[in-house]
Amino acid sequence: MLFVMVSQNFNNAVPGTLAIPDNASKELLAKLQLDAINKYSKELAAQADLCHKQGRILRYWATADDPKVWDALKALGVDLVNVDDLEGYR
């Protein structure tokens, strides 16, 4: 499972793109993603800024169903976050 993908061109992905096993617990997934978001916050914000300057939106998927992850991504300028927990996201 991939954490970050900007487009079909993986050269645009943040350095250190995170591969997480499918059998990882929800808690582990959230912790690893939050760690990566914090570590690469400047790069992630720059991605969002570049996308917006180009008139594009930034969509992340395979994110943990955790409000802390969603809030962190939104704060950095991510426009769309795929979630399984729709009620929790609202």
In order along its 90 residues, the chain shows pLDDT tens digits of 334 443 444 445 555 555 555 666 778 778 888 888 888 899 889 989 998 998 988 888 878 888 898 999 999 999 988 888 778 776
What's the pTM value of the predicted model, to 2 decimals?
0.70
Provide the 10 A C-beta neighbour count for residue 86: 8
**H or E, element range at 73:** helix 67-75
Domain count, the chain: 1
For residue 14, is it within any domain?
yes
For residue 5, is it within any domain?
no
For residue 3, is it within any domain?
no
> What is the predicted pLDDT for the residue at 31?
83
What domain range is 26 assigned to? 10-89
Tokens of 85: 């927990």
